[in-house]
Chain A
């Protein structure tokens, strides 16, 4: 397939707006599940307001949350694609800028030192564009994640050592959830990266935090740790918005990578309850949107 660059631009624009307005089905189901088991009256009230907001956003065509986030585009290139990478990157950036200008959206992106806002949602190295490859022929997948700052500001990396064992990972995750309290807009998806290098570990935590609810770590040890930690963090009583209750997290997600014999790194990145993402699949037949 020859990748149509104009279509990539239009899709990148559309994805940003869709992600901000339509919450994925798995997150909606996650809300229903948490609401069923919430025992705290205040927590139930907060969850009800969140669920009501999802319906209002859809009914009024408005954004779920005012935070347009740091825009992230995850691009997966299948086999047999012909595309100029420089053109592809430029098209994604143009799509992001057009969404901001044409909707309009608040540009949440500034220069880190001057704090100047170009009002385009873009800047040096932003949007974040990640590229991966898949076996699927004639298919270009673009996933868009507007990553809110309330959750992103609560991100941690610990370069634990092998002698501290798995206990260091478990203790770290529990302590990060305690430190985050209500600041991350719980209930959250707690993304945990285990292993790799320092930068890979943090990246894994982001992948974990933005994975669909119901998905499971593809490593059996990681999957077991996910289950144990998901139960553990919901025993802390932080609750929706940190105002008390059972629903502190939808889930703990873990992604792992091999690491060095001397290392035992763990990173935590959280996704807020407005766990927004949108996905488009470009094939010779056209564009299909989903989550």
Chain B
């Protein structure tokens, strides 16, 4: 199942670049990463709001950061200094994967805990991947972020749409790919297959 390829991808990426990735590959991202969250997507897809950002070919991460409001400057162009930026559980946002890809051309979703069957279909049909970051390691993740370059839909703060400038963001594991591979589905199936034996050992 797992390959051991390591690649560095600058964003935005092409469909071909994403379709070449397989579960188990390790990816490091460079360039731009967009932070997106529950409220951001509820407003974008349920309440008809649009972002002024061009997300085509880009990577989004399921996040809502800790930030410090500062005067805009070269170092802090959006007027926000990153304090601690990490990743949230992706599964709550399962139903937004397809519209993110279909309406905005997003190609990569970075998250933790995995996405479900509907997202896996969307990755196959539209050309996308899910990259697993290690949840709960935000102190490390913050060191991969150079600056908050811009912010949109900021009335939803902290669930704004954040434009992050990143450097050496990873390595992240390809956990769901465009050919139907999903580590989460595999692990879940294997774990459920062990259920009866585990319960029997408990005497249940």
Contact = CB atoms under 8 A, between A and B. Distances in A.
A287 interface: no
A36 interface: no
Nearest to A48: B134
B134 A49 contact: yes
B58 interface: no
A265 interface: no
B192 A150 contact: no
Contact of A63 (B83, B187, B198, B201): B83
Contacts of B179: none
A210 interface: no
A124 interface: no
Contacts of A117: 157-158
Given A49-B137, A53-B137, A53-B139, A106 B67 contact: yes
A274 B87 CA distance: 13
Interface in A45-79: 46, 49-50, 52-53, 56-57, 60, 62-68
B139 A167 contact: no
A72 to B, nearest CB: 18
B113 A182 contact: yes
B142 A62 contact: yes
Contact of B138 (A65, A170, A233): A65
Nearest to A150: B89
Interface in B170-204: 173, 175, 183-184, 186-188, 190-192, 194-195, 197-199, 201-204
A50 B199 CA distance: 30
Contacts of A232: 198-199, 201-202
A52 B136 CA distance: 11
Given A104-B68, A272-B136, A182 B112 contact: yes
B113 A106 contact: no
A67 B92 CA distance: 15
B187 A66 contact: no
Contacts of A175: 195
B198 A153 contact: no
Contact of B114 (A53, A148, A170, A182): A182
A149 B135 CA distance: 12
Contact of A182 (B65, B83, B184): B184
B63 to A, nearest CB: 7
A229 B202 contact: yes
Contact of A66 (B84, B92, B190, B195): B84
Contacts of B85: 66
Interface string A218-236: 0000000000110011011
Interface in B115-147: 132, 134-140, 142-143
Given A62-B142, A65-B86, A117-B157, 8 more contacts: A53-B136, A64-B136, A65-B136, A170-B204, A181-B187, A182-B184, A183-B114, A237-B191
User: Which 10 A/B pairs are nearest by Cβ-Cβ distance?
Assistant: A66-B86, A53-B137, A57-B139, A274-B136, A63-B84, A183-B113, A106-B66, A66-B138, A182-B113, A236-B191
25 contacts: A42-B173, A49-B134, A49-B140, A60-B143, A62-B138, A63-B66, A103-B83, A104-B67, A106-B158, A108-B64, A119-B157, A150-B88, A175-B195, A178-B192, A178-B195, A181-B184, A183-B114, A233-B198, A235-B194, A236-B195, A240-B134, A241-B132, A272-B135, A272-B136, A274-B136
